[in-house]
Copies of this chain bind each other. A is one copy, B any other.
Amino acid sequence: MPNRFLAVDWGTTNLRAWVVGAGGQVEAHREFPLGVSRLAPGEAAERFEDTVRPALGAEGLPAILCGMVGSNLGWRQVDYFPCPADLKTLAGGLKRISTSGPPVFIVPGLCCLRSDGGLDVMRGEEVQILGWIAGSPERSRGKRLVCHPGTHTKWVLLVDGRIERFVTAMTGELFDVLRKYSVLRAPPGYDDAPEDESAFDEGQKAAGDGTALASRLFTARARVAGGTMKPEQVKSYLSGLLIGADVAGTPALLGAGVGTPVVLLGDLDLCRRYQRALETAWATVSIHDGDAAVLAGLGALFEMESVR
């Protein structure tokens, strides 16, 4: 292994940083509310040096950064590289942004053409996914579907260890805007309703084959109006309905069928909900922690850069 380095996943809302030792072990870890949407233009470099490095005792360490830090809202805009892509693609596109002192690199994003029109783009998830692949040789063989759930859920088709293509679904964002602003919003006092697995399952059932989403969403309202669902169940029902519709419809846009093994990667709580929705139909579903994967990916990239 090469020298110690600072690994950073710098997203829209938060920044997560790890000091990785020469043996690959994590020596320090911190999370900061310093996502790029919270920074003024030009502020990223300053906060990195004044806040992030000192908090981790990482002054003077080389660093590698992925995520929205490479967007036009971040520290420096770095290209999107077209799919198919693997870790070598990302390593070849690393952008060194420090002109003096220890090297600081930003990882490029990925893009691809969607079958249903236009470009799709990704920044950050690609490091997790390719890092997950690097974790075991058998992950570089065959066809897999990776689902990275979130505000903008990424569905990614892997072929022989490469990201072949992907699509983004606004599933989490639909949930948020409908819960905050629509007729399905929480009535006063129902914001913190507990998870309700049976309501989630009912919602998934109501998603059916994933068509007519605008119409199926209204069943949440109609059930409450008709007295067959309690207002505190709407949140879980809506979650089941939106995840159910995502699962029923999006994989087909990548040409993936229910026989393709699915890897859920990212926030474990969200992953478990997708697992619940997938397992009614899909053959093989496994869950993997996003943090471990992003560290593996950044570590591999740092190593590839170090030996160049």
Interface residues of A (CB under 8 A from B): 111, 114, 116-121, 152-153, 155, 167-171, 173-174, 177-178, 180-183, 202, 205-206, 208-219, 221-223, 225-226, 228-229, 242, 245-246, 248-250, 252-253
Contact = CB atoms under 8 A, between A and B. Distances in A.
B171 A181 contact: no
A245 to B, nearest CB: 7
30 contacts: A111-B226, A116-B206, A116-B208, A116-B215, A116-B216, A117-B219, A118-B219, A118-B226, A118-B229, A120-B219, A152-B183, A152-B218, A155-B215, A167-B212, A168-B222, A169-B214, A169-B215, A170-B182, A170-B214, A170-B215, A170-B217, A171-B214, A174-B217, A177-B177, A177-B182, A180-B181, A209-B211, A211-B245, A211-B248, A212-B250
A170 B185 CA distance: 13
Contacts of A152: 183, 218
A158 B246 CA distance: 32
A221 to B, nearest CB: 8
